[in-house]
């Protein structure tokens, strides 16, 4: 069928972007440049495109490896690589070692010329001596150290013998993939090969599950862990929010993997299924309906359906009065969601529960399956953007006039400057947002953003001023 052209004015000099922009029209996916096919994703960014993507190292260090709370997190590379990897994602834990310190070999010019292996070995030994309580060392490779050919794997092997603790080397050099998504994959594979199954504990694991693909941003896990435990289940390993290296080693003993982030963590669930016959289920832990379904599906695996219904009924009774209050205030608002990948489709349904519609959905590193899910959930006429750049974001905020923008820190000030109410759905300014309680927090923060008195004082540039209904109570 003839495809409708959806052009953004800012892309007049970058026509390649047309394949990464689409609209849902007549049940079909109409690409921005009118060409045939589904929205293009997970390919190299076009030179000249002001992408917001991270590198492979960022995905491995910042997302998958970084939350492990009791290991030395060491970057093998220039100091600049370490800077943005640390203190950015608030993946909280019951100890703050991984959040408090960062370690880097600080490769300088002479190290690049003469090689950095000796320096890496020395850094690992020194860090292990300075922090004897650390249970191991995770070393992340970067572009510079990969390009000069440092054999980090060999250094890790030597270091393991010297310090007597596991030293895990991640081959996650920044240029390895087209985005941070490749780093998630490297992180999963390395942890699986190096750690999972390396010890065989005794005990009863007949009701043990792993929560896979939750990184405990602002303590998201506290909103739902106790619900699974109320069913009589034991959470053995959290991959990787608030987890210790010892818990990772025994995650193969679980009966079921409950996979939340299906972009960054399905890899390890697949590998565990292949090697240990551990089944997994995909769940969404955001939103009332999805959280209830996650409990139902997990309970059904263990024959605990009746217990799940009791928990769900109790939780819904507890939060529904607050959800109803916010739904009245948020009804009919139009939202632009821009997240890493799965949250874009997780939250389309959640926002609908609050009476809101997503009119634009975008991801930084989504793959085809993420966009299939977005496409199936977004309303007719919804705009979908893969890897949006800054001019595109500005144009959409200005011309499509969403009432609310849910994105991350990088976009927060752009939104505010354009007079668009904003909620930080990436690292959360407050949160947590998962589970039943988190849904109330999310609704509260959306209400605060939309109905802040500041909008009465601001003269928005080039777009209608947000309509503030009544003061936030």
Cα separation, 331 vs 355, whole angstroms: 4
Cβ atoms of 331 and 258 closer than 8 Å = no
- Residue bearing tokens 């320096």: 119
What is the nearest approach in angstroms of ligand SF4 to the Cβ of residue 173? 6
Q: Which is nearer to ligand SF4, 77 or 402 (CB)?
A: 77
Residue (83 or 114) nearer to ligand SF4, CB: 83
For the question of residue 76 being annotated catalytic, the response is no
Q: Is 10 a catalytic residue?
A: no
Pick 47 or 132: Cβ nearer ligand SF4: 47
Burial of 351 (0-12, 13-18, 19+ CB in 10 A): buried
Q: Which of 98, 184, 252, 263 is catalytic?
A: 184
Shortest reach from residue 355's CB to ligand SF4, in Å: 41
The distance of closest approach from Cβ of residue 61 to ligand SF4 in the complex, given in angstroms and rounded to an integer, is 9
The C-alpha atoms of residue 228 and residue 178 are separated, in whole angstroms, by 36
The least distance separating ligand SF4 from the CB of residue 473, rounded to whole angstroms, comes to 44
Decide if 226 is catalytic: no
Of residues 57 and 103, the one with the C-beta less far from ligand SF4: 57
Q: Which is nearer to ligand SF4, 183 or 287 (CB)?
A: 183
Is the CB of 153 or the CB of 463 nearer to ligand SF4?
153
Q: Which residues bind ligand SF4 (CB under 6 A)?
A: 55, 57-58, 77, 81, 142-143, 173-174
Q: What distances in angstroms separate CA 307 from CA 34, 211, 254, 282, 471, one per listed residue?
A: 52, 19, 20, 20, 41
Least distance from ligand SF4 to the Cβ atom of residue 143, Å: 3
235 SS3 class: strand
Question: Beta strand pairing status for 404-407 and 103-104?
Answer: unpaired
Structural tokens at position 135: 């249970």
Find the angle CA(451)-CA(453)-CA(454) to the nearest 5 degrees. 110
Catalytic residue among 22, 30, 55, 362: 55
232 conformational bin, left if phi > 0, alpha if psi -120 to 50, beta if neither: left
For residue 178, what is the enclosing H or E element? none
What CA–CA distance (Å, rounded) separates 414 from 164?
49
Q: Which two tokens stand for residue 377?
A: 């959930």
Do 109 and 122 meet the contact criterion of CB atoms below 8 Å apart? no
CA-closest candidate to residue 339, choices 407, 284, 286, 287: 407
Is 55 a catalytic site residue? Answer: yes
Query: Which position has the token pair 């292949």?
Result: 274
> Closest approach of Cβ 152 to ligand SF4, in Å?
13
What is the C-alpha to C-alpha distance for residues 172 and 138, in angstroms, rounded to an integer?
A: 12
- Element (DSSP H or E) covering residue 320: helix 305-330
For the bound state, the minimum distance from the C-beta of residue 72 to ligand SF4, rounded and expressed in Å, comes to 19
- The least distance separating ligand SF4 from the CB of residue 233, rounded to whole angstroms, comes to 38
Check 17, 31, 53, 89 and give the catalytic one.
89
Spatial separation of the C-alpha atoms in residues 152 and 145, rounded to whole Å: 9
282 forms beta bridges with 259
Q: How far is CA 108 from the centre of its chain?
A: 32
Distance between CA 423 and CA 437 in Å, rounded?
A: 17
Residue with the closest Cβ to ligand SF4?
174
Residues 22, 30, 58, 182: which is the catalytic one? 58
User: Which residues are annotated as catalytic?
Assistant: 55, 58, 89, 184
């Amino acid at each position: 069928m003839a495809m409708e052209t959806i052009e953004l004015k800012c892309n007049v000099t970058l026509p390649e972007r047309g394949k990464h922009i689409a609209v849902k029209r007549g049940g079909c996916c109409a690409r921005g440049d009118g060409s045939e096919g589904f929205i293009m994703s997970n390919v190299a960014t076009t030179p000249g495109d002001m992408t917001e993507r991270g590198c492979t190292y960022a995905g491995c260090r910042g997302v998958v490896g970084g939350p492990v709370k009791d290991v030395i997190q060491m970057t093998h590379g220039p100091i600049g690589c370490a800077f943005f990897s640390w203190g950015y994602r608030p993946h909280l834990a019951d100890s703050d070692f991984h959040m408090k310190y960062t370690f880097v070999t600080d490769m300088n010019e002479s190290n690049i010329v003469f090689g950095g292996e000796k320096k890496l070995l020395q850094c690992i030994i020194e860090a292990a001596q300075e922090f004897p309580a650390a249970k191991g060392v995770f070393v992340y490779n970067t572009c510079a150290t990969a390009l000069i050919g440092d054999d980090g794997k060999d250094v890790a092997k030597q270091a393991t013998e010297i310090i007597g603790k596991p030293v895990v080397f991640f081959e996650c050099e920044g240029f390895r993939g087209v985005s941070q998504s490749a780093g998630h994959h490297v992180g999963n594979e390395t942890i699986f090969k190096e750690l999972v199954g390396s010890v065989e504990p005794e005990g009863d694991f007949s009701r043990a599950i792993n929560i896979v693909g939750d990184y405990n941003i602002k303590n998201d896990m506290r909103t739902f862990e106790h619900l699974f435990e109320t069913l009589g289940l034991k959470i053995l390993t959290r991959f990787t929010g608030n987890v210790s290296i010892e818990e990772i080693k025994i995650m193969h003993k679980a009966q079921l993997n409950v996979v939340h982030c299906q972009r960054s963590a399905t890899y390890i669930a697949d590998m565990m299924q292949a090697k240990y016959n551990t089944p997994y289920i995909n769940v969404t832990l955001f939103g009332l309906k999805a959280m209830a379904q996650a409990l139902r599906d997990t309970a059904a695996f263990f024959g605990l359906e009746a217990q799940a219904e009791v928990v769900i009924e109790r939780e819904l009774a507890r939060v529904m009065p607050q959800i109803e209050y916010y739904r009245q205030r948020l009804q009919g608002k139009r939202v632009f969601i821009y997240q890493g990948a799965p949250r874009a489709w997780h939250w389309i349904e959640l926002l609908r529960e609050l009476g809101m519609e997503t009119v634009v959905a975008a991801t930084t590193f989504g793959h085809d399956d993420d966009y299939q899910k977005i496409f199936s959930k977004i309303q007719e006429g919804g705009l979908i953007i893969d890897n949006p750049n800054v001019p595109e974001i500005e144009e959409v905020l200005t011309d499509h006039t969403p009432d609310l923008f849910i994105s991350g820190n990088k976009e927060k000030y752009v939104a505010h400057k354009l007079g668009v109410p904003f909620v930080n759905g990436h690292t959360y300014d407050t949160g947590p947002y998962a589970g039943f309680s988190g849904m109330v927090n999310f609704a509260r923060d959306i209400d605060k953003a939309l109905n802040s008195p500041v909008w009465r004082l601001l003269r928005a540039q080039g777009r209608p001023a947000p309509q503030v209904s009544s003061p936030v109570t």
